[in-house]
Chain A
Amino acid sequence: MSAARYEAVIGLEVHVQLKTRSKMFCGCATSFGAEPNTNVCPVCLGYPGTMPVMNREAIRLTVLSGLMLGCRINPRSKFDRKSYFYPDMPKNYQITQYDQPLCLGGGVEIEGASGLATVPLTRIHLEEDVAKNMHFATCSGVDFNRAGSPLMEIVSEPAMHTPEQAVAYLQGLKQTLMYAGVSDCNLEEGNMRCDVNVSLRPVGATALGTKAELKNLNSFKSVLLALRAEIGRQEQLLREGGRVVQETRRWDVEAGATFLMRTKEDAHDYRYFPEPDLMPVVLSEQQIAEWARGLPETPRQRRARFASEYSLPEYDARVLAADKAVGDYFEAAARGSKAPKIVSNWVMTEMLRRLGETGQEIAAVQITPAALAELVELTEAGAINSNTARELFGELFANGGSPRALVEARGLAQVSDSGALQALVDQAIRENAKSAEDFRGGKAVALKFLTGQVMRLSRGKANPQLAAQLLEERLKK
């Protein structure tokens, strides 16, 4: 048994379906959930003699993604045929980009244990998606609705070393693409899919070990668990003096392990060659600059803007901008608010906690940004106290509605009128003579207890600062 310590080296290939109206090389609609084989035509069914014509928008969205990720845009790129036999591709080749992809280099910013880091990208290329197969007991079914949809493949360098980094990379990539608005990036609907390459090498070594490719990872959690399992498998193999074989392995959620699909000996010989039916894509600097002008904000830019525009601490800006939908929500609530930091506090604590508990998406919550802004305004104006505000938040989160209307309907307004509070203060002192005595005797904490009693008697509506002040005045007499 070897005592060597090993380091994992991880690279990811992420496929992202672009948000176009029509397919990559034909005019069929791209839509999820349509009846099988209803968005098809002779081109995407792979009929002999049909001619592909490039969708300009797919090129633009890929370039946009490249610009958002800091890639160099290739001034000249082309498409190639990748040959293989599989029922998801009746032409027996997929149109993809081999040696001249649209985008080169770039990187994805991730938040790691030691602050922000960048995972470098190798390239981004554009290709056509394939049909969807359904497996039955004795046969398989093929639906070509998805076939020919524009699919962007984003390839990272083998630059990650832990499963957590791989997940952070995926989350960072997804957020940047969401900011770019190029894809819905929904793993469940399959418009974001990923393959993972992982190998091990002794710590300190520079040469890469033999890698395994992992398939069937349809959630961030699968990526995390599959990588943990596969790294464990390879490590054990190496420790026992074995060697890793280059192979493709399938993640099995139920078994919590990866299983062999095929070894390199069965690997395909794709015989790439230039697609004779498509002309090259040549992008002038002027064209790229024109597309770059419409470039949306990146997560990093938004972070900086949140910090300056709303005077937020760096930490808040980072949390809020990390997820586009959360940032959008915050901004919608904070824009008209006089206290954006308070809005930020609500979003970062109560909102994110409740979203985590209920598994809801922030874009679909009952409490509108306007309602949150109103809640903050009521609190800041002293109309309700913080306990009431927290209760109201729960109520609004569950059922929606207007905070102002709720405060009026339920008489929740904070009692800041000393006349109205005085009676409750006297009652609290009368009913808790011992505590009153303690305070007079120098026990300052007794005041806290008495204030709590006034809050209770007011059913939470008293202004706690005022209650404490009135109690103190009364007891010092």
Chain B
Amino acid sequence: MASNSDQQSMDVNYIARLARMNLDALEARQFQTQMDGIVDYVRQLSELDVEGVEPTAHAAPIQNVFREDLAQPGLTQEQALANAPAQSGGQFIVPKIVE
């Protein structure tokens, strides 16, 4: 959902902000060209006539893939926290969250 009114190009700086990335001017120009290329490539799809074709996110006609409601053991607390940069009282410790 680019916030750019120009349909031809993506707003790379906006996308970078959403992805929490800092781009310098050179990188921004470089990615702009690359992403415009990608969007142009995908735009070929709009040449197809999809009149009467239901939108779908999947290629295979599969539906209702369920599991039964059964609880099973997962990781131990020790395992869960094994990769935590910091931990205390069984919790992952992260920099102070400010809303």
Contacts and interface: CB of A to CB of B under 8 A. Distances in A.
Interface of A: 20-22, 26-30, 35-42, 44-45, 53-59, 78, 83, 85-87, 133-136, 138-144, 250, 261-262, 269, 271, 273-276, 278-282
Contact of B94 (A140, A278, A282): A140
Contact of A37 (B65, B80, B94): B80
A375 to B, nearest CB: 42
A269 B18 contact: yes
A140 B72 contact: no
A178 to B, nearest CB: 20
Given A55-B67, A83-B18, A282-B63, 9 more contacts: A28-B74, A30-B71, A40-B75, A42-B75, A56-B69, A58-B69, A86-B97, A142-B93, A275-B57
Interface of B: 1, 3, 18, 20, 57-58, 62-72, 74-77, 80-81, 86, 88-97, 99
B96 A136 contact: yes
A35 B77 contact: yes
Contacts of B95: 139-140
B64 A279 contact: yes
Contacts of B68: 56-57
A41 B74 CA distance: 5
Contacts of B90: 35-38, 143
Contact of B72 (A27, A40, A271, A280): A27
Given A54-B65, A59-B66, A37 B71 contact: no
Contact of A139 (B70, B77, B93, B99): B93
B66 A87 contact: no
Contacts of B58: 276, 279-280
| Interface of A (DSSP majority class) | loop
A409 B92 CA distance: 61
B65 A27 contact: no
B23 to A, nearest CB: 17
A358 to B, nearest CB: 35
Which 6 pairs show the lowest CB-CB distances between chains A and B?
A41-B74, A274-B57, A141-B91, A57-B69, A36-B90, A56-B66
Given A58-B69, A281-B64, A282-B63, A141 B74 contact: no
A245 B71 CA distance: 46
Contacts of A273: 57
A18 to B, nearest CB: 10
B92 A85 contact: no
A452 B64 CA distance: 74
Given A36-B89, A269-B1, A279-B64, A138 B96 contact: yes
28 contacts: A21-B70, A21-B71, A22-B72, A27-B71, A28-B72, A35-B77, A35-B90, A38-B77, A38-B90, A41-B74, A53-B65, A55-B66, A56-B66, A59-B66, A86-B97, A87-B94, A87-B97, A139-B93, A140-B93, A140-B97, A141-B89, A141-B92, A141-B93, A143-B90, A269-B18, A271-B1, A281-B63, A282-B64
B69 A139 contact: no
A136 B76 CA distance: 24
Contacts of A29: 71
